[in-house]
Amino acid sequence: MHPAPPPTEETPPTYPPDPTSTPASQSEAPLVVTVAVADNYFAPGNVLIRRGGTVVWNFVGTSAHDVTGAGFASGLLNEGSFSWTFTAPGTFDYRCTIHPQMIGRATVR
């Protein structure tokens, strides 16, 4: 595959789609999404999931973190995993309560 030519006025730059803004039917969104909880970040930070689907957060960093959102909280962990099943569509923000720069979002379709 050849790299794309540099953008010009006639060809504006293209960016990969953001899963939180890409239209998708419920059947196109995944049923299970895995997020790494690393040292001071979530990877990926934004996920798209089907209603009734589950996000699994795997704690892989060396420091303790938590995953806290509206209606769910993992408690502090530095290993293992935490999962949450989203039963309603919407946008759900979550964060690590001890590291304020650690924020994430699950969009449920």
CA–CA distance, 94 with 69 (Å, rounded to integer)? 4
Q: How many domains does the chain have?
A: 1
In CATH, what number is assigned to the domain containing residue 85?
Answer: 2.60.40.420
Does a structural domain hold residue 49?
yes
Range of the domain at 45: 26-108
pTM metric for this prediction: 0.75
Mean pLDDT of 40-58: 97
Q: With a cut of 70, say whether residue 7 has pLDDT above it.
A: no
Tell me what the pLDDT averaged over the chain comes to.
84
Flag the least confident range among 4-8, 67-71, 81-85.
Answer: 4-8
Does a structural domain hold residue 8?
no
